[in-house]
Structure 1
Amino acid sequence: MEIHIGNRVADVTLVSKEGNKVQLTIDGVPYDVDIVMAENGSCSILHDGQSYNAELIRKEGGKSYTVNAHYQSYNIDIIDSQAKYLRMRKGAEEKQQDKIVSPMPGKVVKVLVKEGDCLQAGDIVVVIEAMKMQSNYKVNSECVVKEILVKEGDSVNSNQVIMTLDVKKTDE
């Protein structure tokens, strides 16, 4: 999942959890921590012999928090695979990026374009199956397929770039 901390985006993966002991990776770096949560939103974190205390205040929607620690406040937004998937499905409301990225692990079922193809907003470029559900990924503006980095049958990871695009600039 992605965690947005102000302007920073961290890729966080829960590796294992047994009681209070949690193994996770942050941007690929492994961490072993001991976390104790209190009902009032306070938590105590032990890592490498150091103790840290934080207060978590949940905002509306349940995926955003204010975290108070070390006399500072941080705004945190959690973008899990489902939220990322739904954001990708909405598509047209966001500016087209220069790449298509898989929001979660899955399998490439169909690649519907070739390198050099000119695409219009709404064109489907790839179909990916994840969690027994097939999803169509579309472009939301005029662009040209620059490079296709997967083929049908390939497994893809979360955040893996599937193809790159040359997006037509519209300064209107």
Structure 2
Amino acid sequence: MSVEIRIKNRLARVELLERNDNLLKIKVDEMIYHVDLMHTTGGTFSILEGGRSWNIELIPKQEPRKYTAYTYYETYDVEVIDAEARYLLNRGGGGPATGEKSIRSPMPGKVVKILVREGDAVTHGQTAIILSAMKMESEYKAPFDGKVHKVHVGEGDIVEGNQPLIEFEA
């Protein structure tokens, strides 16, 4: 299972590699961590990693997948971007406010049609690619007005979940 987590301007890809009760092996971007994670009370978690200890309280916000995280001295706004969130973001075109500069596949599927080429000018919400997954075709749109920087796939390609498909630049 893999998700992206946004804290401030940092977007990290987090993948659960192994789990044995409270002991987790996770990959954050390219780094592997062995973590002892315990849910203590309410939204509070105790985390042990590399001889260090943290207590973190997660408070859900009104919007789905968004939290406020409280540590000893800091407060962070946290957003979890899972397959469903990526799907919704790509379907609607994320926009510059989200910081998204690419379209990624929300789940495994097949590229049906690519409607843009590298160097093409695009407008926010313009359909850029069509994917087929779970016997449904879905259109994915440019996240902002700009230019196609890179197309990573071709028509007929099989894609994995969270795979970059098209990158854009302002």
Query: TM-score scaled to structure 1, two decimals?
Result: 0.74
Measure, in 2, the Cα distance between the counterparts of 1:4 and 1:144: 24
Residue 154 of structure 2 is aligned to residue 151 of structure 1: yes
Match of residue 59, structure 1, among 34, 58, 61: 61
Instruction: State the Cα deviation string for residues 110-151 of structure 1 (Å, max 9, x = none).
Output: 124363767666653322234554321234777665653312
Q: Percent identity?
A: 33
Measure, in 2, the Cα distance between the counterparts of 1:113 and 1:83: 23
Measure, in 2, the Cα distance between the counterparts of 1:28 and 1:124: 32
SS in 1 for 2:84: helix
Measure, in 2, the Cα distance between the counterparts of 1:34 and 1:73: 22
Match of residue 163, structure 1, among 153, 162, 166: 166
Post-superposition shift, 1:62? 4.5
Which amino acid in 2 is paired with 1:126?
Answer: I
Post-superposition shift, 1:59? 2.0
Post-superposition shift, 1:99? 5.8
Larger radius of gyration, structure 1 or 2? Answer: 1
Which amino acid in 2 is paired with 1:38?
Answer: T
Give me the CA root mean square deviation. 3.2
Post-superposition shift, 1:86? 0.4
What does 1:128-147 correspond to in 2, within 5 Å?
A: 128-139=131-142, 147=150
What is the total number of aligned residue pairs between the two structures?
A: 166
Unaligned runs of 5+ in 1: 168-172
Does the CA-based 8 Å contact 1:112-1:125 persist in structure 2?
A: yes
Match of 1:32 in 2: 34
What does 1:20-99 correspond to in 2, within 5 Å?
A: 20-91=22-93, 94-95=95-96
Match of 1:106 in 2: 108
Match of 2:128 in 1: 125
Unaligned runs of 5+ in 2: none
Q: 1:119 to 1:62 in 2, by over 3 A?
A: closer
Measure, in 2, the Cα distance between the counterparts of 1:70 and 1:16: 28
Which amino acid in 1 is paired with 2:129?
Answer: V
Match of 1:11 in 2: 13
Does the CA-based 8 Å contact 2:58-2:69 persist in structure 1?
A: yes
Bigger shift: residues 122-131 or 35-44: 122-131
Does the CA-based 8 Å contact 1:98-1:166 persist in structure 2?
A: no
Post-superposition shift, 1:28? 2.1
SS in 1 for 2:88: helix
Q: 1:122 to 1:79 in 2, by over 3 A?
A: closer
Measure, in 1, the Cα distance between the counterparts of 2:68 and 2:48: 20
Measure, in 1, the Cα distance between the counterparts of 2:7 and 2:111: 34
Which amino acid in 1 is paired with 2:151?
Answer: I
